[in-house]
Amino acid sequence: MLEQMKDTQGLDKDHSTIVQLAHGEAPHSKRILDELSVGIDFITDFWLERYFREFIPAGGSKIKFITGQPGSGKTHTLHLLSAIARNEDFITVQFSAKEIWLHDFKEVYLEILRQCDLMHLLVRCSHGIIAAMGFNHQDIPEGMTFMDYLGQNGLSDGVTRRELRLQLKTMFLDNTFLDNNFALACSLLCGGILGHPFLENQSKQLLLSWLAADKNIKVPSLRPLGLAPSRITKFNARHMLRSLAEVVRLSGHPGLLVAIDNLEVLIDKSSLNPMHYTKMKRDDTYESIRELIDDIDSFHNIMFMFAFERSLLDNDNSGLKSYQALWMRIQNEIVGTRINRFSDIVDLDSIASQLFTPQMLVQMSEKLAKVVNSIDINARTIDEAKANEIVNLAKLGGISIPRLVNQATMQTLEGASL
């Protein structure tokens, strides 16, 4: 009975998935993503082995661009890769360029920081320090700090306190991958979690406000804590993000994955678009991405994925080609038609046209129909003749194959035809 209740709850949640699918949107449900995925394992399996299990955990860093026509599966791919990375214990961050301004990298850093939950990462760092001192954090009663636990057992002597400060210094202050202010802030916060050095709540809130680039704090108030009186700006935000990625590693995670969707909003001139980019903001965004590409080798244990419609590549006036400094760095990635899984630009339309067979399209439709039918909504799958028609239509009209399959399957709900 309990299992049936769980299944019913899962199906109720999936009703919203049908709405997403009907509007050509990628579902958020991990189960639905797995059930609907066809053909994309050509990329996902490769990235799992080469990047999520090898390159990134070993200290590497990478930027990938995912493009294609509307409905080609860009958002689906981002969600699926993020889910795969989470299964590998990565910290994953996902957001849309329709929601976060990209021309100021400080805003990007702040969104990543918000989703990472820095205090949770520092708690895990404190567990590492406790283990390095020969103890197990699971032995410490809930609500008790490590220092209180040591005192309870008669071990809070001067030598132990000095060793605790040394562990904090080694992890943060002596770490060359951390910005000095960022390292000191993390050391103080982690020390507060451990119970030594003692950190007042007011000081804790000040440090967290500084890390979150709060404009209301008075920078001279940082001096008593040992920090240099400076603010986080778009000019040093990349260094702060590099420091955050290092804290992710120190906390025991293999890496940080940042997925940013809908970059085509940069060239959207619709008056209904609240994230309207002027030429100056658009160029600032391109320059920010260019700087990130140039600095990526100085990062460690981090991977970026940017997804955008093909129009961002094809638009000569306001797309990527309009900013020569950025275009020079990525143009070689799109030369040639043969699929290269190491390429930094993944063209989903090219993958679909070269790998998808009519039989795979039928399988894609069957999986979609199965999901729809599981919530008591009738849907019919396409046959091989319709699949061949979709392949030919995609070649002639430049329309993405997954979108056509989705439309053909979902339209059967209303008795419509392709």
Token reading at 39: 């053909």
Q: For residue 7, what is the DSSP state?
A: H
Q: Is there a contact between 158 and 196 (Cβ–Cβ < 8 Å)? A: no
Q: Which of 209-213, 226-230, 320-324, 358-362 has the lowest mean pLDDT?
A: 358-362
pLDDT at 391 over 80: no
Ranking 102-111, 169-178, 345-354 by mean pLDDT, the lowest is 345-354
**pLDDT tens digits along 137-169:** 999 999 899 999 999 999 989 999 999 999 999
**pLDDT exceeds cutoff 90 at 349:** no
Higher-scoring residue by pLDDT: 270, 187: 187
In the predicted model, what is the mean pLDDT of residues 187-212?
96
First to last CA, the chain: 42
| pLDDT for position 412 | 47
Q: Which residues contact 378 (CB under 8 A, 6 or more apart)?
A: 372, 412, 413
The token pair that represents 99 in the structure block = 């929601």
Once rounded to an integer, what is the mean pLDDT over residues 98-116? Answer: 96
Task: Specify the pLDDT at position 8.
Answer: 36
**What is the reported pLDDT for 355?**
73
Cα distances from 163 to residues 140, 192, 286, 366, in angstroms, run 18, 15, 47, 61
Q: Determine which of 3-17, 20-34, 379-393 has the lowest per-residue pLDDT on average.
A: 3-17
124 has pLDDT over 60: yes
Looking up tokens 């981002």, which residue turns up? Answer: 78
What is the structure's pLDDT at 193? 97
Give me the pLDDT at residue 414, please.
45
Most confident of 2-6, 66-70, 386-390: 66-70
Q: DSSP string covering 120-184, please?
A: HHHHHHHHHHHHHTT--GGGSPTT--HHHHHHHTT---HHHHHHHHHHHIIIIIT-TTS-HHHHH
pLDDT of residue 3: 39
With both helix axes pointing from N to C terminus, report the angle between 237-250 and 105-116 in degrees, rounded to the nearest 10.
Answer: 20
pLDDT band per the 50, 70, 90 thresholds, residue 6: very low
**pLDDT score for 357:** 73
Q: Exposed/middle/buried for 395, CB within 10 Å: 0-12, 13-18, 19+?
A: exposed
Structure-model confidence comparison of residues 34 and 305, the more confident one: 305
Contacts of 74 (CB under 8 A, 6+ apart): 66, 67, 68, 261, 307, 308, 309, 348
Is residue 49 scored above 80 in pLDDT?
yes
Q: What is the pLDDT of residue 330?
A: 87
Tell me, what's the pLDDT at 270?
A: 80
Domain 40-99+253-275+282-354 sits in CATH 3.40.640.10: no
Q: Which pLDDT belongs to residue 99?
A: 94
| 392 to 122, 152, 338, 353, 410: CA distances (angstroms) | 54, 75, 20, 10, 20
Contact in structure between 297 and 61 (CB atoms under 8 Å): yes
Residue 192, pLDDT > 90, answer yes
Smallest CA-to-CA distance from 59 within 303, 281, 282 is with: 303
What's the pLDDT score for residue 378? 58
Are 363 and 374 in contact by the 8 Å Cβ rule? The answer is: no
Task: Flag whether pLDDT at 344 surpasses 80.
Answer: yes
Q: Tokens for 93, please give them.
A: 């961050």
Q: Which residue has the higher pLDDT, 207 or 369?
A: 207
Give, as one character, the DSSP assignment of residue 31.
H
Q: In whole angstroms, what is the distance from residue 171 CA to residue 176 CA?
A: 10
Mean pLDDT of the residues in the chain:
85
Average pLDDT, integer, range 72-97:
92
Encode pLDDT of 224-276 as tens digits.
999 999 999 999 999 999 999 999 999 999 999 999 999 999 999 887 788 88
Q: Does residue 379 or residue 191 have the better pLDDT? A: 191
Q: Which residues are within 8 A (CB) of 103 and not within 5 positions of it... i.e. 6 or more apart?
A: 277, 281, 282, 284, 285, 288
Give the type of residue at 314.
D
The reported pTM is: 0.85
Q: How do 256-261 and 61-68 pair as beta strands?
A: unpaired
The more confident residue out of 87 and 340 is: 87
Cα 132 to Cα 150: distance, rounded to the nearest angstrom = 15
**From residue 347, how far is each of 24, 215, 340, 358 by CA, in Å?**
18, 41, 10, 20
> Mean per-residue pLDDT for 360-387?
71
What share of the chain has pLDDT > 70, as a percent? 83
Is it the case that residue 84 has pLDDT exceeding 70? yes
Q: Taking 80 as the threshold, does the pLDDT of residue 105 lie above it?
A: yes
What average pLDDT score do residues 275-300 get?
A: 94
Cα 378 from Cα 413, distance rounded (Å) = 6
Which pLDDT belongs to residue 11? 41
Residue 415 confidence (pLDDT): 40
Q: What SS3 state is found at 379?
A: coil
Asked if 257 and 305 count as a contact pair (C-beta separation under 8 A), the reply is yes
**Per-domain residue ranges of the chain:** 40-99+253-275+282-354, 118-233, 357-413
The sheet carrying 91-96 orders its strands as 91-96, 256-261, 302-309, 61-68, 345-347
Write down the pLDDT at residue 400: 77
pLDDT at 2 over 80: no
